[in-house]
Amino acid sequence: MAILDEVKQDLTSAMRAGEKQRVGALRMILSELQKAEKLGSEDELTVLRRERKRRLEAAKAFRDGGREDLATGEEAEGELIGAYLPAELSEGELQEIVERALAASGAESPKDMGLAMKSAMAAVDGRADGRRVSGLVKAALGG
């Protein structure tokens, strides 16, 4: 089942259950997925990752501004979006992918960081945050 169809079903269920916050978040997700589908430019996972990242960044900004109530709402939306994404890689799996990417790209020093990151991020395929990957690549290259 496509993610779009799954979101539509979940939206219907949330509306029947009277879950206002969940309905609002699911409508936003549905809108973004439909917009991307109409433009034909992005796949569903890319849209969901982008929207989750926006929510988490907004939560951080609200928290920094002393608005804990708004931060909690944004984090809840981020978690809801995350439920439609594939599971994150564990540290061991990520370390293994980084090691293979370094070997495949031939990266040996911090100067080769861009080459190594390109290879590693392609292998990770969005199942881990870029900062996690970057930290492991940097550590492996001695940077």
Q: Can you read off the two tokens belonging to residue 16?
A: 């029947």
For the stretch 6-31, pLDDT in tens is: 999 999 999 999 999 899 999 999 99
CATH homologous superfamily of 3-82 equals Uncharacterised protein YqeY/AIM41, N-terminal domain (1.10.1510.10)
Query: What top-level class would CATH report for the domain 91-141?
Result: mainly alpha
CA angle 60, 23, 27 (to 5 degrees): 80
- Rounding to the nearest 10 degrees, give the CA dihedral for residues 20, 24, 25, 30: 130
**For 143, which DSSP code?**
-
CA angle 64, 69, 70 (to 5 degrees): 70
- Domain chopping of the chain, boundaries: 3-82, 91-141
At residue 66, the pLDDT reads 93
CA distance 111 to 19: 51
**DSSP of 37-69, one letter per residue?**
HHHT---HHHHHHHHHHHHHHHHHHHHHTT-HH
For the stretch 50-107, pLDDT in tens is: 899 999 999 999 999 999 999 999 999 999 998 888 888 888 888 888 888 888 888 7
